[in-house]
Structure 1
């Protein structure tokens, strides 16, 4: 990730939220870092999180597949088998 986020985006966030330029820059960096998470890491993290709350694998994998389709940079469509392989190897 670049050390300084897009100045136009930072200015837009600052102007639309009332944040200072420094605060807006931190927000932009946080959002970019959140969306830069690799698909494999996202799938493993979400699976562990949902499993913690008692969800079953068939529910988990359907939910993760739906979530992946809505990410800012959409991940490729992954089958349940591919999702399972990401989690269990």
Structure 2
């Protein structure tokens, strides 16, 4: 998952969007089952030397669809140790 945009609020309707290329190449609304997951992702990974929004994240996700088209992702968790630089 890579971030497309985020809002620094806890409101689940705030406009967070991300791309999960294996599901859809376009940005899709993301929700978090647990706000602690979002907060952890927004801190990034200092060992990679890039800001959090330039990193890629391995996540557990539930995809919500309408007529088989992805419309929202619910991020259930992420694997912090698997965070990586997508440009490397």
TM-score, normalising length: structure 2: 0.24
More helix by share: 1
More strand by share: 2
Please say which structure displays the higher CA radius of gyration.
1
Larger relative contact order (CA 8 Å, sep ≥ 6): 2
